[in-house]
Amino acid sequence: MGYNLAQKIIQSHLVSGEMIPGTEIGLRIDQTLTQDATGTMAYLQLEAMNIDRVKTELSVAYIDHNTLQNGFENADDHRFIQTVAQKRGIRFSRPGNGICHQVHLERFGVPGKTLLGSDSHTPTGGGIGMLAMGAGGLDVAVAMGGGTYYIPMPKIVNVELTGKLSPWVAAKDIILELLRIMTVKGGVGKIVEYTGEGVKTLSVPERATITNMGAELGATTLGATTSIFPSDETTLAFLKAQDRADAYTELKADEDASYDEYIKIDLSTLVPLAAMPHMPDKVKTVEEIGPIAIDQVCIGSCTNSSLFDMMKVAAILKGKTVAENVSLTISPGSKQVLTMLSENGALADMIAAGARILESACGPCIGMGQSPNSKGISLRTFNRNFEGRSGTADAGVYLVSPEVAAASAVAGCLTDPRTLGEFPEIVLPDHFLINDNMILLPDAPDKAKDREVIYGPNIKSVPLGHALEKEISTKVLLKVGDNITTDHIMPAGAKILPYRSNVPYLSQFCFGVCDKAFPERCKKEGSGIIVGGANYGQGSSREHAALVPLYLGIRAVVAKSFARMHKANLTNSGILPLTFADENDYDKIDEGDSITLCGVRDAILNGGDIVLKDATKGIEIPLKADLSDRARHIILAGGLLNYTASK
């Protein structure tokens, strides 16, 4: 029996374990990337490890999230990251150079390599055949130090694509269709691997759109790792256009490869789709939703900001004017894209139509500016539409393709672009503009030893956990429902993101979307646990959603189920992730209950189950600690930094 593509790359990077689904494996990491919202903390953790020089083949630090500088905080973080990068052997992509995933795809991605990034949409690299995974910053720091990355061996889902997309139907519609089929919980413990004749009809930017938004399937949030396409002649053409043909390797599954699950999508049957508020899998056709009035359209993000997407948008807008009731923003994904748009005239067409051109950064996707009006309806080509993520609590955000977005911006309402007539033919150039002058190379080792790492006053120490006690007696300080995202736990946005390197300040916003009194309650009690529903912690890779509760004294989270990355981040921080043995027991416990986790250290040490005694209710609730042997020892030590130091 042959190997599928995911298995081939895993096998060639396997450090420990066997490729048996559900069992822990350790992987060698070739490349890493960070962005500045998570990067400052990742580099503080790297500095805490006393690593002279990173051990990866390539590590890149990108500045693309916290680029709105209305105070000194973001600029100080950028300076800190730059000086660490120069000292420790990391390339530094300066502000304005572009969104990490777009730039990495263009300039650094290599088929067959492993990529670990402190951003949940790192699987974008799967568009050129990388095993590209999102993780918490501490896992990325450990990988930069030469450490192994550990995950449960995923199941592999074969998504066979047949046929060809019809005019006005986009790659975004493919991933929205898969979200409709699999839901945001459907990727539990799985890698999504694309095969079939339909793959050949998709360009690399289209493939990258699909792998990028694969994060919302659960492919990075619930249990698995990534999405991946084969590396073929289309990949080679893309790399040649970037002057990187030497990076090409043909990669595909063996003819007799097997998969754990099979899904087939006929591309020719797809129509324009949209994900409705407030979840990426609430998918309907644009025609079904109808011509609802809209207030805002935002085009860009790491999902849809390539030159290919921008050229389609420019062609639709050319000679037209944005509707008077609509504010249209456009964010090209990289300096390369923006420069090429300016040189070929497409940028002028966008500006003439009334588009507001934003810098090549994440911007509105993470709530960094461009929040909609109150109760506003915003169409976005982004990957997430979680409630409040836009910066406006009562806004309704729809996720759509660039074609739907541009057509709707002109019409003033949600519009099926098939009504526009003949589809404009977009041909990608054989050669892209190559100018890497905004990527700084690190200092040579002999010079690096004299490089000073510069800390700003907003940069505080990394909070550390402590060794697990024999038992934990405390209170339930918060109870929340299903599908709690990292945006609920630790919100993003222009007002909060500048403090990602200042956990004490950040703590006052923890769970602000759910219960603004939570931080004060934590400070009053000194310690506590959180009770959550299913899919607790879905969303981004931000480890602040674990570090801030740790700072506030949270010792454990008891939930029906966890998102993979958040569970890993809780473990790495020293917070115990526990699940109900019987999900119905969730209803038996309430906020304010006094509880004891009995014999918890012995149970974690020896692999037994844990009993929660609820003194308020006079009941006992059995819990499970589904942790690998390594994760158990991390919890016992009080977190990965403590565990690493002990080793």
Digit-coded pLDDT (tens) for 306-341: 999 999 999 999 999 999 999 999 999 999 999 999
DSSP 565: H
Mean pLDDT of 373-380: 97
| Domain 275-416 CATH (choose: 3.30.499.10, 3.40.50.11540, 3.40.190.10, 1.20.140.10) | 3.30.499.10
Question: pLDDT class for 188, splitting at 50, 70, 90?
Answer: low
pLDDT of residue 46: 94
- Scan for tokens 């994060």, then name that residue: 215
pLDDT at position 596 over 60: yes
Provide the mean pLDDT of the chain: 94
Max Cα distance, the chain (Å): 72
Please provide the size of the chain in residues. 647
pLDDT at position 224 over 70: no
Q: May I ask the CATH architecture of the domain 472-646?
A: Alpha-Beta Barrel (3.20)
pLDDT tens figures, 504-518: 999 999 999 899 999
pLDDT tens figures, 78-134: 999 999 999 999 999 999 999 999 999 999 999 999 999 999 999 999 999 999 999
pTM above the 0.95 mark?
no
pLDDT at position 484 over 50: yes
Which residues are designated catalytic?
A: 64-65, 119, 384, 540, 542
Q: What is d(CA 117, CA 193) in angstroms, rounded to the nearest whole number?
A: 19
Mean pLDDT of 46-54: 92
Q: What is d(CA 562, CA 535) in angstroms, rounded to the nearest whole number?
A: 5
Residue 234, C-beta contacts closer than 8 angstroms, at least 6 positions apart: 200, 202, 203, 204, 207
* Domains 5-266 and 275-416 in one fold: yes
pLDDT at position 221 over 50: no
pLDDT of residue 19: 96
Q: What is d(CA 110, CA 74) in angstroms, rounded to the nearest whole number?
A: 31
Q: Higher model confidence: residue 225 or residue 595?
A: 595
Question: pLDDT class for 219, splitting at 50, 70, 90?
Answer: very low
Question: pLDDT class for 220, splitting at 50, 70, 90?
Answer: very low
pLDDT at position 498 over 90: no
Query: Taking Cα atoms as reference points, which of 491, 332, 49 lies closest to residue 500?
Result: 491
pLDDT at position 223 over 50: no
pLDDT of residue 222: 36
Exposed e or buried b for every residue in 36-51, given b needs 16+ CB within 10 A?
Answer: bbbbbbbbbbbbbeeb
DSSP 154: P
Q: Which of 56-60, 163-167, 456-460 has the weakest average pLDDT?
A: 456-460
Mean pLDDT of 35-64: 94
Question: pLDDT class for 476, splitting at 50, 70, 90?
Answer: very high
Q: Is 598 exposed, middle or buried (0-12, 13-18, 19+ CB in 10 A)?
A: middle
pLDDT of residue 58: 98
Domain boundaries, the chain: 5-266, 275-416, 472-646
Q: What is the CATH number of domain 5-266?
A: 3.30.499.10
pLDDT tens figures, 537-589: 987 778 899 999 999 999 999 999 998 889 989 999 999 999 999 999 999 99
Mean pLDDT of 469-497: 91
Q: Structure tokens of 116?
A: 């670990």
pLDDT of residue 496: 84
